[in-house]
Each structure stands twice: as structure tokens, then as C-alpha cells.
């Protein structure tokens, strides 16, 4: 069976070779154009989940960038204004993701978002402990993580 991701990478490098420019932007453009070309001829490859997974990964990336910007603005605002609204707390978040790679990705995305830090995972891998900078209601923080980042990680990495 043909690995469509590898084929897409090959098309991206072919695009770079065509223009003689292997910059990140040009390779990204080649990857997107290759993805579109492969999706057009997808009936030739039979049943594949590559396109659904790629779109879900893109949604995860866009959601993470959105959360990164929003939380960065929130942290900067709290640091620069004289009235601090931070109420730090450690929140235990029950996990629905089960595979170690999913837990690792979720914990890293949470840690990369300003104002939150993944501290530990319980020995049974059922609970993630998160230090959050703005905790008015721990249940709301849990709900935000579960309905936001965890749901998208689970969808993208099924």
C-alpha cells in the first residue's frame, strides 16, 4: 500500500526542486499543492483515512495557535496592568485519551500555552495535573481543557 504522507512529502520536495528553492515556505506550498493534487486523484488509492487525519491535524494546529494568541494576550495584560487577576491553582483533569502519545501531545500543548503548565500524569494515566494561572472555577478549567485541546488531540490522533 502506498503511504500517502510520504508521497505528499515527495511531491513537496519535487515542487522545491522544480523552483530550485527549498525554503520552508516553498516546501509548505508544495505540500499543500501536493495534498490538493492527491485529494483529486484519491479514488485511485482506494479507502484511506489520510485526508481526514490531515484535516483534523490542521484543525488541531489552528486551534492551538488560537489558544496561544488568546492566552498570550491574557498573560501579557495581567503582567502589564496594575490590577492582577491571576488566581493560580493546580487542577486535576481526568483524561479520556488513553495512548501515551496522545497524553504526551496533550501535555505538551498545554505546557506550550502561556498561563498553563502540565505538571504530572497519574500512574494509571487517567489524570493530568495542570497548573493554571487563571482559575476562578476549577470545573471550568477542566471543561475548557476537555472540550478544547483534549477533544481535538483525540480526534487528530485516532
* Pair (131, 105) in one structural domain: yes
Q: 51 lies in a domain?
A: no
Any idea which residue has 495584560 for its cell? 77
Domain at 146, CATH number: 3.30.70
pLDDT digit string (tens) for 118-139? Answer: 999 999 999 999 999 999 999 9
Per the structure, how many domains does the chain have? 2
The pair phi, psi for residue 114, each rounded to 5°, is -60, 140
Rounded distance, CA 112 to CA 91, Å? Answer: 17
* Pair (35, 68) in one structural domain: no
* Pair (32, 75) in one structural domain: no
Q: Quick one: 63 exposed, middle or buried, by C-beta within 10 A (0-12, 13-18, 19+)?
A: middle
* Pair (36, 99) in one structural domain: no
* Pair (41, 67) in one structural domain: no
Paired residues of 93 in beta bridges: 128
Range of the domain at 79: 63-156
pLDDT digit string (tens) for 47-86? Answer: 788 888 888 999 999 999 999 999 999 999 999 998 888 8
Contacts of 11 by beta carbon, 8 Å cutoff, 6+ apart: 30, 31, 33, 34, 37, 38
Q: Quick one: 75 exposed, middle or buried, by C-beta within 10 A (0-12, 13-18, 19+)?
A: middle
* Pair (77, 122) in one structural domain: yes
Question: Collapsing DSSP states into helix, strand and coil, what is residue 128?
Answer: strand
Q: What is the pTM of this model?
A: 0.82
Q: 114 lies in a domain?
A: yes
The pair phi, psi for residue 128, each rounded to 5°, is -110, 130
* Pair (145, 70) in one structural domain: yes
Amino acid at each position: 500500500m502506498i503511504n500517502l504522507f510520504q508521497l505528499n512529502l515527495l511531491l513537496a520536495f519535487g515542487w522545491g526542486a522544480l523552483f530550485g528553492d527549498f525554503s520552508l515556505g516553498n516546501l509548505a506550498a508544495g505540500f499543500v499543492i501536493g495534498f490538493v493534487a492527491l485529494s483529486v486523484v484519491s479514488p485511485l488509492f482506494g479507502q484511506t483515512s489520510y485526508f481526514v487525519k490531515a484535516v483534523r491535524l490542521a484543525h488541531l494546529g489552528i486551534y492551538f495557535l488560537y489558544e496561544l494568541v488568546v492566552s498570550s494576550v491574557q498573560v501579557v495584560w495581567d503582567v502589564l496592568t496594575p490590577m492582577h487577576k491571576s488566581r493560580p491553582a493546580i487542577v486535576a483533569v481526568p483524561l479520556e485519551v488513553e495512548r501515551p502519545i496522545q497524553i504526551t501531545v496533550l501535555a505538551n500543548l498545554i505546557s506550550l500555552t502561556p498561563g498553563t503548565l502540565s505538571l504530572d500524569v497519574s500512574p494509571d494515566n487517567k489524570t493530568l495535573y495542570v497548573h493554571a494561572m487563571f482559575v476562578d472555577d476549577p470545573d471550568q478549567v477542566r471543561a475548557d481543557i476537555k472540550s478544547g485541546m483534549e477533544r481535538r488531540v483525540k480526534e487528530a490522533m485516532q
